[in-house]
Amino acid sequence: MWKKIYEWLDERFGLNDMYKNMLDRPEPRGTWWNTLGSASLFLFVMQGLTGIFLTVYYTPSPDHAYDSVQYIMNGVAFGWLIRGIHHWGASLMVLVVFIHMLRVFVTASFKYPRELTWLIGIGLFISTLGMGFTGYLLPWHQMAYWATTVGTQIAGSVPFLGEFILKVLRGGPDLSALTLQRFFAAHIWIFPGILAALIGAHLYLIIKHGESSYPGKDE
């Protein structure tokens, strides 16, 4: 029975072709270093899921942000676990994405025909840092507040445009409810959207070109 259902779906979706092209493609003999891209993807999905769960209780307003985070940590069942995973996963993701990038650089995997994969990867790395920067403010405690004060000041030190950039980031001259709200929007909509789109392109290119391989002894 299951076989019939599967065949019916396969005829319409092309599940077998999808499996062959996406997962059953030939792989060069790799090392553990080649798994860091998959690890990054896993972390992205995990951060996405725990992030969605956090928004069930988190409130991005200066009046409630801190209290709602305290409530997640101390009041909600397993809230400490969900936020713990999101918190540590964030640092881990920046680390893993960065090491993945280093590996691609060291093995020169960015060369023809994979230049675009590399460029999109740079976008992915910057967006990951953007996620870290915007997420850091959301607990709205002293460390978050002052880290964002300093971080936006650094962006504000750009010649000529600095003040404008600072105001765009903060939603005004000072850190306020507007800052918290726009950081929240960037953190849950804008950056995840960019990341998802870039990840799609990144994966497509990897499937299209295959993974780069180390040269053999006789090459």
Residues 6+ apart with CB under 8 A from 187: 51, 131, 134, 135, 138
24 CB neighbour count, 10 Å cutoff: 10
Residue 79 touching another protein (CB under 8 A): yes
Residue 98 touching another protein (CB under 8 A): no
Q: Using CB under 8 A, which of the segments 5-13, 79-87, 175-183, 204-212 binds another protein?
A: 79-87
Residues 6+ apart with CB under 8 A from 168: none
CB of 67 to another protein, least distance (A): 4
Q: Where are the alpha helices (DSSP H) in 138-176?
A: 142-156, 162-170
Beta carbon nearer to another protein, 70 or 157? 70
Residue 78 touching another protein (CB under 8 A): yes
CB of 184 to another protein, least distance (A): 17
Residue 47 touching another protein (CB under 8 A): no
CB of 79 to another protein, least distance (A): 6
Beta carbon nearer to another protein, 82 or 137? 82
Residue 15, CB-side half-sphere exposure with 13 Å CA sphere? 9
Q: Using CB under 8 A, which of the segments 74-82, 95-103, 121-129, 211-219 binds another protein?
A: 74-82
Helix or strand or coil: residue 210? coil
Contact 51, 191 (CB under 8 A): no
Q: Is the Cα torsion angle 187, 33, 31, 110 positive or negative in sign? A: positive
Beta carbon nearer to another protein, 72 or 120? 72
Which of 22, 81, 143, 161 is in the footprint of another protein by CB under 8 A? 81
Residues 6+ apart with CB under 8 A from 134: 183, 184, 186, 187, 191
Residue 139 touching another protein (CB under 8 A): no
The contact set with another protein (CB under 8 A) reads: 53, 56-57, 64, 67-68, 70-71, 75-79, 81-82
